[in-house]
Amino acid sequence: MLKSTLLYLSRSQGFKSFLTRFKSFNAVTRRFVAGEDLPDAIEAIRALNSKKISATFDHLGESITAEPETLREVREYQRMLAQIGSTGIDSNVSVKLTQIGLDISRDLCYRNARSIVEEAKRFGNFVRIDMEESSKTTSTLEIFKQLRREFDNVGIVVQAYLYRTEDDIKSLLEMRARIRLCKGAYKEPPAVAFSSKKDVDDNYVKLMRILLVSGIYHGIATHDENMIDATKRFAKENAVTPDQFEFQMLYGVRRDLQESLVGQGFRMRVYVPYGKYWYPYFMRRLAERPANVWFVLRNMLRG
């Protein structure tokens, strides 16, 4: 119920206006969003790097329906890649395809995605194609596969709560694709996705095991300590060393656990979002983890 309510509020501009009256709310958003501008995000990544944590840059935005806006997003990603190159920070980039034209035309989206991946290649960097709601899964995978046939510096995200994901993974591994495994953050109907946490967790572990023994470098994205422990156990039992995969988490979530895993010798990458369209992203983070809601409320009350 709480998750559904928060996902609904993520689309409510009135609720956004109400919340942003609280100075403490605006301050708390900086726990999960690095800032509105690129220099803010650069500094956030420097701080992570100082703790031996890598990063993935993400310029917030999705469901763009005007071509000039998609081109601005491409330029922002090109600027981002240039800044990574010039500053020497340890980061790659992630992009959503609805941000660069998927809701306009597939050809436009592919051209824009290709421009970003090609620029990343020039800088010796890597692009992760993010996954969105299930209605976009097939087209996202098709565009990714088209890119992967030409470039080796592009990877994809899969979501453990979708029934189809095991078959998708098998197809992607045939291309030796680098995959980020996550549980999934969108509200999906029971016709396409597991509805119970246990079923999602069981599928996550099943998919994680397929990925870890594939001989390809993947990202295991979770804040769930049970999933992390299952990954560590399986890796040890199957002689998968800590340099053969990485854990991934979101900026501002379970920072204690991020640093603990690094201290144990595991690789850690943190997804660092920035930009003016922070509100839908922020509300989804609250929906994913109820503890985040109480964190926000406590800080608002202090304000």
Asked if residues 54 and 272 have their Cβ atoms less than 8 Å apart, the reply is no
CATH code of residue 210: 3.20.20.220
Average pLDDT over residues 202-230: 97
Q: Does residue 297 form part of some domain?
A: no
Task: Report how far Cα 154 is from the mean position of its chain's Cα atoms.
Answer: 14
Q: From the candidates 58, 103, 130, 201, which is the catalytic residue?
A: 130
| In the predicted structure, residue 93 carries a pLDDT above the cut 50 | yes
pLDDT digits (tens, 9 = 90+) for 185-200: 888 999 999 999 999 9
Answer whether residue 182 is part of any domain.
Answer: yes
**Is 90 exceeded by the pLDDT of residue 141?**
yes
Residue 136 has pLDDT above 80, yes or no: yes
pLDDT at 2 over 50: no
Considering only residues 294 and 44, tell me which one the structure prediction assigns the higher pLDDT.
44
pLDDT confidence tier of residue 290, bands split at 50, 70 and 90? low
Q: Which tokens belong to 143? A: 């565009």
Q: What is the pLDDT of residue 169?
A: 98
Q: Over 70: is that where the pLDDT of 255 sits?
A: yes
Residue 199: how many other CB atoms lie within 10 Å: 14
The band of 247, judged by pLDDT with boundaries at 50, 70 and 90, is: very high
What's the pLDDT band for 221 if we cut at 50, 70, 90? very high
Alpha helices in the chain (DSSP H): 2-9, 13-19, 23-32, 38-49, 67-87, 106-122, 137-148, 165-174, 197-212, 225-237, 255-263, 278-288, 290-302
Let me know if residue 102 belongs to a domain.
yes
Residue 63 phi, psi dihedral angles, 5° rounding: 55, 40
Number of domains making up the chain? 1
| Domain membership flag for residue 21 | no
Give the pLDDT confidence of 3-30 residue by residue, as tens digits: 554 444 444 444 444 344 444 345 556 7
3-class secondary structure, 288: helix
Question: Is residue 187 domain-resident?
Answer: yes
Q: Is the pTM of this model over 0.95?
A: no
- Provide the percentage of residues in the chain whose pLDDT is more than 70: 82
Q: What is the mean pLDDT of residues 95-112?
A: 98
DSSP of 74-133, one letter per residue?
HHHHHHHHHHHHHH---EEEEE-GGGTTTTT-HHHHHHHHHHHHHHHHHTT--EEEPP--
Identify the active-site residue in 128, 180, 269, 285. Answer: 180
Residue 63 inside a domain? The answer is yes
Name the band, by pLDDT with cuts 50, 70 and 90, for residue 281. Answer: low
pLDDT score for 253: 85
Domain assignment present for 202: yes
180: annotated active-site residue: yes
48 touches 85 (CB < 8 A): no
Question: In whole angstroms, how far apart are CA 93 and each of 47, 84, 176, 200, 254?
Answer: 17, 10, 19, 27, 21
Neighbours of 124 (CB within 10 A): 10
Q: Which two tokens stand for residue 129?
A: 């194609």
Model confidence at 167: pLDDT above 70: yes
Q: What is the pLDDT of residue 63?
A: 86
pLDDT at 297: 46
Answer whether 105's CB lies under 8 Å from 66's CB.
no
Residue 271 backbone phi and psi in degrees, to 5: -80, 115
Averaged over 103-107, what is the pLDDT? 97
* Better pLDDT: 207 or 300: 207
- 130 included as an active-site residue: yes
pLDDT for res 30: 72
Q: Which residue has the higher pLDDT, 3 or 136?
A: 136
Q: Which helix (H) or strand (E) holds 56?
A: strand 54-59
In a domain, 12, yes or no: no
Domain that holds residue 169: 34-274
